[in-house]
A and B are shown apart, each in its own frame.
Chain A
Amino acid sequence: MMENDLAINLARIQFAFTVSFHFLFPAFTIGIASYLAVLEGLWLKTDNGVYANLYRYWLKIFSIVFAMGVVSGIVMSYQFGTNWSVFSDKAGPVIGPLMAYEVLTAFFLEAGFLGVMLFGINKVGRKLHFVATLAVAIGTFISAFWILSVNSWMQTPVGFAINDVGQYVPAAGWWDIVWNPSFPYRLVHTVLAAYLTTAFAVGAVGAWHLLKDKTNPGARKMFSMAMWMAAIVAPTQIFMGDLHGLNTLEHQPAKVMAMEGHYESHPDGAPLILFGIPNSKEKRVDYAIEIPKASSLILKHDLNAPLAGLDTIPDEDEPPVGIVFWSFRIMVGLGFAMLGIGMWSLLARSRKKLYDWPLLHRAAVVMGPSGFIAVLAGWVTTEVGRQPFTIYGLLRTSESAAPLDAPAVAASLLAFVVVYFIVFGAGIVYIFKLAAKTPEAHEPTPDDAPIRTAGITPAAAVLEGDHEEGAAT
């Protein structure tokens, strides 16, 4: 039994590790793909070269992030079976088709048009190339749609029956399964998170270059666009996050109790614990700084509304409070910091000083990774918060694992850690190197580039410049 527990815990660590790494990349590619589509669209519309240059600038980074997303994603699609085979057998009839739809409608679309997007501009012309960019951008969104539907079904399962071999099988029509209760909220919240992540990454790169040269047109444009996103999306995201939280309260109250640190029930108004140290042994939050009744106000819109605590949940069904409590605060804290930057940028913009306030630019540089951290923290909140279940309330994580020996899982975990750190570490270094280069207008615009007639046209201008740049560094 001990041996078995060890194997399961190793499998959990392995899944957490591989999915966390993976999630960073799509969180970025969903955003950059849309950003690239906007840039190319604006370029087509205005013929302003700055958009074309920014497109090429971010396309290089996109191609690295996308490759890392693809290869880490293939791992995920097999890990369900290699490490969580009992879950796969039981949940496959419901979640399998949704994942198959993801492959059929999203992965192929992205992959099929990616080649043209990266290398094909001289071969297909500007308009068709824009179609390819759009296809990739839409593909990233469709992918998010299906996989989040799967994840949401695991959090709020509906529309199923259990057959005589213990499988969860569809029983109420696919519409209900796809649009399960937490899905719309999770979809919007996650996609907005991807946009914010990208906005702050782009904003940081723009700000970095503005600090060196505030007249650089590329840097100005990307910073301005990113700050618009921050100013508009950050408040929207906080509002949507609140709705998502209310939805969670309805369907997964134990998760919200852990987020709030409410070990005890509060019959007449629950306090909002801003900070404190959850002490699960004593079932209390030590050193809590709290606002009386504010939690009831937020969650129930009534100061005196009763809120149940973890004392109403059997111990064996409780999520690990400490992790959820902290990851939730990291996410929310970063969300408000993003809002702050957004508002600050509006102030600067209204005074026509958007490119002239180094302090704002420095803050934006510091906030560059904020989206990635917030996305991971949010993911941890929702995934750890639904423990100890894989299918919420129905199938326990401990009963979902594959019949593997602990040494096998330990060895694979070690291999994943080593390979991921080397490979993705290098990729992240390359992204930083590309982002450190000043966005300049020296690359030929695609329609000026030489078009060769023999066979495949080499050197699509999209990437021609970086060959030379690569050689120069």
Chain B
Amino acid sequence: MSGTELTVIWAGIIAFAVVVYVIMDGFDLGIGILFPNFKVGPDRDTAMNSIAPVWDGNETWLVLGGGGLLAAFPLAYAIILPALYAPLIAMLLGLVLRGVAFEFRWRDPAHRARWDFGFTAGSVIATFAQGVTLGALLQGITVEGRAYAGGWWEWLTPFSLLTGFALLAGYALLGCCWLIWKTEGSLQRQCYSYAGRLGILLLLAIIAVSAATPFLEEEYYTRWLAYPGVIATAQIPLATLVISVLFFRSLSKKQEAAPFFYALGLFGLSLVGLAVSMWPDVIPGRITIWEAAAPYESQMFMLIGAAIMVPVILAYTGWAYWVFRGKVGTDGYH
């Protein structure tokens, strides 16, 4: 295998980790976003219990994304992280706040309302910060030599705020559909009523982000809209349209699992769109995956580990989800 190919594989692995992260932590962050809307008592407890056994594993994909970037593309890691300093620190603090809330709300019923608030605040901050991070990366980062060369507010633009709000809508939708799948009764009814509105919100956000992206960088414009590439790229909005229709139909038929998977489909297509915009850059318009790549020996050593471990991880993660399959009881497993 050549180094060029190896680097492509690693770009694929990291993209995979990001996709799995967005999908998996997406729904549990989404539950945090929606949390204040749920009735205090059994509904909130059920919502929390539906993710308590899996949130930690979900979040580990974020560590794999970050750690993998450091290992396979150290230059990208070294430029992107300082460039997105403020939103990343906010994300980390948000994750701290919401991560402990899972435990603390049960330990301290007298202050449960506070930890519930922390759970929501942390989830909203982390989600918004992730969206901003994505937008800021997409709009471009000032690079000089091997380092970030912009100021500490460069990330803040209307576009990055838009992607922040878009992700809030997206994660909320995922969380909502997860609860439709995993719960019953009043909480499920409430989520059915939210899902349609959140779906519309997400579609509007997708349209806005998609419309703005080609005008951020000339390369994006060519990648998306120049003939004949446009024939291929046009399939993405078409597929989005089809899945949206299926999504709303599944909601109106009161299907339980299907809306979640269609929502995932919408997310997947957005991420494919992101890949179309960025490929083959890791820092759009500045640094390609090959320029940022770690040496062959480093990537090869890790590839062996990843090739063995990722299937194993997927297997036991799948098993853990299987153990907790079905509807969550109101008193939960906490």
Contact = CB atoms under 8 A, between A and B. Distances in A.
Interface of A: 63-64, 67-68, 70-75, 77-78, 80-83, 85-86, 88-97, 99-105, 107-116, 118-120, 123-124, 163, 165, 167, 169-170, 174, 402-405, 407-408, 412, 415-416, 419-420, 423-424, 426-427, 430, 433-434, 452, 454-460, 463, 466-467, 470-471, 473
Contacts of B89: 82, 412, 415-416
Interface string B51-66: 0111011011011101
A67 B104 CA distance: 10
A206 to B, nearest CB: 21
A118 B92 CA distance: 24
B71 interface: yes
Contact of A404 (B96, B152, B323): B152
A82 B81 contact: yes
Interface string B95-120: 11101101110111100000000100
A171 to B, nearest CB: 8
B57 A111 contact: yes
A74 B68 contact: no
Given A115-B54, A119-B52, A71 B95 contact: yes
A48 B265 CA distance: 51
A86 B78 CA distance: 6
A455 B68 CA distance: 37
Of listed B52, B72, B298, residue having the most chain A CB within 10 A: B298
Given A86-B78, A101-B305, A470-B107, 11 more contacts: A82-B85, A89-B147, A96-B70, A108-B317, A402-B85, A402-B148, A408-B86, A416-B93, A426-B108, A454-B326, A458-B330
A88 B95 CA distance: 23
B320 A116 contact: yes
B57 A108 contact: yes
Size class of the contact patch on chain B = 35 or more
A419 B329 contact: no
Contact of A100 (B52, B302, B331): B302
A99 B152 contact: no
A9 to B, nearest CB: 17
Given A115-B57, A170-B297, A170-B298, A88 B78 contact: yes
B66 A71 contact: no
Contact of B67 (A85, A100, A458): A100
B250 to A, nearest CB: 21
Interface string B243-280: 00000000000000000000000000000000000000
Nearest to A68: B100
Contact of A119 (B53, B68, B108): B53
Nearest to A166: B146
Interface string B215-240: 00000000000000000000000000
Given A63-B103, A89-B78, A165 B56 contact: no
B151 interface: yes
Contacts of B93: 415-416, 419
Interface of B: 49, 52-54, 56-57, 59-60, 62-64, 66-72, 74-75, 77-82, 85-86, 88-89, 92-93, 95-97, 99-100, 102-104, 106-109, 118, 146-149, 151-152, 294-295, 297-298, 301-302, 305-306, 309-310, 313, 316-317, 320, 323-334
B66 A471 contact: no
A109 B294 CA distance: 26
B306 A104 contact: yes
Contact of A104 (B102, B104, B313, B317): B313
Given A85-B148, A88-B77, A169-B297, A470 B109 contact: yes
B66 A81 contact: yes
B171 to A, nearest CB: 17
A64 B323 contact: no
In this complex, the member of A86, A115, A124, A170 whose beta carbon has the largest number of chain B beta carbons within 10 angstroms is: A115
Given A103-B60, A163-B295, A415-B89, A96 B71 contact: yes
Nearest to A66: B56
A459 B331 contact: yes
Contacts of A458: 49, 328-333
B333 A427 contact: no
9 contacts: A82-B81, A91-B74, A92-B294, A107-B60, A115-B57, A404-B152, A415-B89, A456-B333, A459-B333
A427 B59 contact: no
Given A100-B68, A116-B323, A71 B99 contact: yes
Given A85-B81, A92-B70, A467-B334, A104 B64 contact: yes
A404 B334 contact: no
Contacts of B326: 454-456
B151 to A, nearest CB: 7
A67 B103 contact: yes
A92 B66 contact: no
B82 A167 contact: no
Contacts of A430: 103-104, 107-108
Contacts of B298: 92-94, 96-97, 169-170
Leading 3 A-B pairs by shortest Cβ distance? A92-B74, A115-B53, A96-B71
Contacts of A64: 103-104, 107
B179 to A, nearest CB: 13
A80 B74 CA distance: 11
A370 B302 CA distance: 39
A170 B118 CA distance: 44
